[in-house]
Amino acid sequence: MSRRVVIDSQVFGREGGSLQGELPVESLRRLHDLLTDTAGRLVYRIAGAVGSSNRPQLLVEVDGVLSLCCQRCLEPVEYPLELRSLLEFVEHEGDLTQDELEDDSRDFLPQAKELDVAVLIEDEILLALPPVARHEDCVLPGGGQDSAKVSPFSVLAGLHGKA
């Protein structure tokens, strides 16, 4: 996706629009601080529909692998991205019922005449990333699993008999 793709959220949803393509990870500038490598591409699909409340919706799907920085050992950790977001567009935030606000099956966004697809995808990725990336079996540097924990006060035990 080298050129900027912009859609009208209302029209795209109501007409059941469909869009797919690839997005270079390097182009996702707001992610750069979280990544150890910006190589690669993400595959995306966006499908428009009309929801049960007669509002336009977008189903956003993004797949690929991101190289995040493990917050424990600071080495790269491959993060498989399988993003699925259902976005429903509203004219005014006040139009939402309490039940809709509490519904976690979809997110609500204000209608947009010019919705930049790359920016939307990057926003959804930022929201989907784990708050702290780390390897599943990672240990702190220098802290082996088998090392016995030594109390810092063990030196005092030897002083007891030296008075």
Residue pLDDT, tens place only, 102-131: 777 788 888 888 999 999 999 999 999 988
Amino acid 126: pLDDT: 94
Domain limits for position 116: 6-137
Helix (H, G, I), strand (E, B) or coil at 153: coil
Per DSSP, helices labelled H in the chain are 9-14, 98-102, 117-128, 154-159
pTM exceeds cut of 0.75: yes
Q: Answer whether residue 74 is part of any domain.
A: yes
Amino acid 159: pLDDT: 73
Amino acid 142: pLDDT: 59
Q: Answer whether residue 155 is part of any domain.
A: no
Amino acid 133: pLDDT: 84
Query: To which H or E segment does residue 109 belong?
Result: strand 107-110
Q: Report the half-sphere exposure of 32 (CA within 13 A, side-chain side).
A: 6
Residue pLDDT, tens place only, 62-114: 999 999 998 888 889 999 999 999 998 888 777 777 777 777 778 888 888 89
Amino acid 148: pLDDT: 56
Amino acid 110: pLDDT: 82
Rg of the chain over Cα atoms, rounded to whole angstroms, equals: 24
Higher pLDDT, 53 or 78: 78
Q: Answer whether residue 154 is part of any domain.
A: no
Q: Answer whether residue 60 is part of any domain.
A: yes
Number of domains in the chain: 1
Q: Answer whether residue 40 is part of any domain.
A: yes
Q: Answer whether residue 153 is part of any domain.
A: no
Residue pLDDT, tens place only, 129-150: 988 888 888 776 555 555 456 6
With 50 as the cut, is the pLDDT of residue 1 above it? no
Q: Answer whether residue 25 is part of any domain.
A: yes
> Strand pairing of 76-90 and 107-110?
parallel
Q: Answer whether residue 163 is part of any domain.
A: no
